[in-house]
Chains A and B, each alone.
Chain A
Amino acid sequence: MSRTFQVIDTGLRECRAQIAFDQALIDSHKAGEIGDTIRFLQFPPSVLVGRHQIISQELNLPACRAAGVGIGRRITGGGALYLDEGQFGWELVFHRQTLALGGLGDVATAICEAAAEGLSRLGIAARFRPRNDIEVDGRKISGTGGFFDGDTIFYQGTVLLDMDASKMAALLNIPAAKLARHQQDAQQRVVSLRALLGTATPDTATVKNTLLQGFADRLGITLHAEAIPTCVEARAQRCFDDEIGCDEFVYEIDDPAHDAEVQSATVDTPGGRISAHLRLEGSLQNRIREVVITGDFFVTPPSTILHLEAALRGVLLDDVRATVNDFFVSNPTGLLSAPPSEFANAILRASECARP
């Protein structure tokens, strides 16, 4: 199987148009109109929810409309994002036999490790953190997600060149945003290249090329730049007009009556106070969408807590105690001033605040 990918760049487009192009890439690939492809893209100020998220629970919609940002729904899963020209997106669409990586988990691992390798060449310690984050010292620099349709695999991620945390805080209903609004917890859960490299931050083209080198070397593929295929543009317009550009799709999953607030709880232990700031998901609200853990406990290395938060994403409340316990068994700490059970207590107490 040929391991050659064309590389295209759709530049800056309105958010729903970019997502329609995602679907068009997949459809064109399935139809045999295009070969394996890597695409770059950028967004004007926009908020995006994941495919199955309750939109009014994830976004501060009045604030989004007042700010005039684009509002869209991805075809991939995962959580809500704020994006602007300070970030870019990358995507791979390919036949599953091209890379012959096995199951979807193996695909995610291979692509994320390749992306991390590419970013590391910029002089940062980028690493893949399962299930699908790329992080530097526990702070996320790239989020990813995938879509599959038969033999066509689609995998996408972002790179944070720069970041406006205040915009995120104003527009998203996520724990980190709540903390930022209340000026709590100086340590951010995400990090940008600008924050890491300062004035040494390369330009966007250099970052893209370095990322491509990571994909080429780790995935064993060859790349060639191409113009945007006209067949994909035509499909993208139809996808936009028929579904993805429509409010019916974007607001398809909504429950305005549902409590959109981040729920918080605190436990006091001899080793310090532990606070959990929790967002649940699912119609039964029994699964962790995201949790942020703060407090004055001690743990070394400090990134342990960020990795714990990542490990808890998508976990059912019934599995929180076991997940927390297993995490600390698998991730020995130098110093931990409070027992693992107290972290679970804080999270479960916060979840009780969320339930009617």
Chain B
Amino acid sequence: MPVVRGCTLPDELLYDVANNIWYRDEGDGTLTVGLTVVATSMAGKLVAFTAKKVGKTIEAGKSCATVESGKWVGPAKLAFDAEIVAANEQLTAAPDTANSDCYGKGWMVRVKPADAAATSVLVPGSAVAEPYEAKMAADGYAGCAG
């Protein structure tokens, strides 16, 4: 499993490095989406999570959900056009689940891409270390706490 500046990045996942989002291919035409530990580490303890409504189609680069921590709100953006087919109500109820288990119980939404080939823009976990290191260096990000 790649670990970049103390941040774990499971290699079975796919990544949108620029937006700090992970995707997991569920094998049925849908992908589960969540925040990487880089995102949750930078944001701090989440106090609110609101997903866009199930059934809504989100354009590439637009927000599928917003998160809030310590009076800061930020968007979680999708890398491609997709329909939201499920939202994690457990995360809505307990937003800090994203801090404690961002790759498991802290998933945000499940989406169905408008074009299955669009997921080719994502970086597989096996190749994510280098681009993430470059992003952290460009952002001046020291890394995740140990």
Contact = CB atoms under 8 A, between A and B. Distances in A.
Given A51-B66, A77-B72, A144-B71, A103 B42 contact: yes
Given A51-B48, A103-B42, A252-B50, A284 B93 contact: yes
A283 interface: yes
Contacts of A314: 47, 70
Secondary structure at chain B's binding surface: helix, strand, loop or mixed? mixed
Contacts of B18: 150
Contacts of B71: 76-78, 108, 131-132, 144-146
A153 B66 CA distance: 15
Contacts of A327: none
A52 B50 contact: yes
Range of interface residues on A (Cβ < 8 Å): 20 to 34
B74 interface: yes
Nearest to A151: B139
Contact of B74 (A105, A149, A282): A149
Contacts, number: 68
A104 B74 CA distance: 11
Interface in A253-291: 253, 282-284, 287
Contact of B72 (A148, A252, A253, A282): A148
Interface in B72-89: 72-75
A146 B75 CA distance: 12
A147 interface: yes
Of B43, B44, B49, B70, most buried by chain A (CB within 10 Å of CB) is B70
Contacts of A287: 47
B133 interface: no
Interface string A113-131: 0000000000000000001
6 contacts: A51-B66, A51-B73, A52-B73, A148-B72, A148-B73, A149-B75
